[in-house]
Structure 1
C-alpha cells in the first residue's frame, strides 16, 4: 500500500497580518508619537494602545521605526500625493502648500519630522528612511518637475534635485526648528525657483 502523500502545511494564522490589527498598530504609533515624542515611543506602549500582543508586533515589524515608516507611507499616499496629472507651475505651487500644511497640521507630518531627526544619528534609520520613503518620493517629485519642464511650464534655474531641495528645504527647516511656516513661503519659493520660461 503506497504511503499517503503528506498534506501541505497550513500557514499559521498568526503569520498573517490581520488588517484591523495592523491599522490599529499604525494608528497607535502615530498617536503616541504626537502625544509623547519619538524618544518615549515604545513597542510596549504601541501594543497596549492597539490592543495587540507585543510579540505580534515584533512578528510583523522589526522596530518602531519600521512601524512609523509604514504609517508615514500610507498617510502620505492618501493625504499628500505627488501630482500625477499634467504638471503646471500652479500644481507644483499647490503641492508645496499642501506639504507645508502636512508638516504643521497632520499627525503624519510629525512622523516625517521625527524620522528626519532620528536619521541624523542612527544609520539604520537613515538607510531605511531613504530606501522606503525619501527615495521613492524624490523619484515622483523629480518626474513631476521634469514633465513640467518638458511641457514648457517652468524653467528652473537649478538642476532637478537642487530645485527640489531648494523648494522643500526651507519648509522642512521651519518645521524642524519649531518656527511657523510663513503663509506665502510656498508661493515665494515657487515664484523664485520655477518662473515659467519667458518667450
Structure 2
C-alpha cells in the first residue's frame, strides 16, 4: 500500500504564477521590500499556500533562479572551441546586466537572499557556477587554455570568476572588457608569445 499525502495537491499553475510574480516583484522592489503578502496578493493565492511550499522568500527567489526566471543571460555560455572568447563574451553580458540598474538590483538581491539562507546559497551556486553552466564550459575547454588540463580545479576556477562578479556587483563597479580579459588570463593562464 502506498502512503497517501495529506493536504492539498500542489498546483503547477499556482506554483508558476507565484514564481512569475516573485521574479517580477523582485525586479521592481528588490529583495528587502519583497514580501510574501505582496506575492500572495498579486498571484491570487493565500499566504498559507506559499508557506506550505517554500520556507521563506529566499527559497522562492532561489527557485525562480533555478527555473530560469531570473538572470537568464547569466545562465548560458556558448561553446565555440575558444574558451577565453566564450567566457569573455559571457562575462561582458554579465557585466552589461550589472550596468543595467534593474538587473543590478536583482543580482544584489540574489546575493542578499543567498546570505540570508544557506539552502538558497547552495542552489544559486549550483545554478551559476555548477556543472550545468560555468564549470561545464570550463571542462569542455580542456586544452583550450594553459590552466585547463584534465586535472584542473574546474569548480574553483568557476568560483573565482563568480567571486569577481559578486565583488563587482556589491561595489557597483562592473568590469570593462579589458579587465574581463585580464581576469581570464589570470584564471585560465596565458600562452607564451
For 2:43, the equivalent position in structure 1 comes to 50
Deviation at 1:63, TM superposition (A): 1.3
Matched, 1:115 2:110: yes
Match of 2:162 among 144, 156, 168: 168
1:171 is displaced (CA, Å) by 2.7
Other-structure match for 2:88: 93
For residues 161 and 105 of structure 1, the distance between their equivalents in structure 2, rounded to whole angstroms, comes to 28
| Alignment CA distance shift 1:50-1:104 (3 Å) | farther
Q: Structure 1: which 5+ residue stretches go unaligned?
A: 1-7
Change (3 A) 1:156 1:171: same
- The CA deviation string for residues 20-57 of structure 1, in whole angstroms up to 9 with x for no partner, is x3232122222322333322221101111222221221
What's the TM-score once normalised by structure 2's chain length? Answer: 0.73
2:123 is aligned to: 132
Length-normalised TM-score, structure 1: 0.72
| Residue number among 11, 17, 21 corresponding to 1:17 in the alignment | 11
| 1:63 to 2:56 alignment | yes
Larger Rg: 1
- Count residues with an aligned counterpart: 185
Distance 2:145 2:130 in 1: 18
- Confirm or deny: 8 A CA contact 1:31 1:107 kept in the other structure: no
Cα distance in 1 for residues equivalent to 2:28 and 2:82: 37
CA change 1:70–1:102 in 2 (3 A) is: farther
Question: What residue is the counterpart of 1:26 in the other structure?
Answer: 19
Q: CA RMSD in A?
A: 3.5
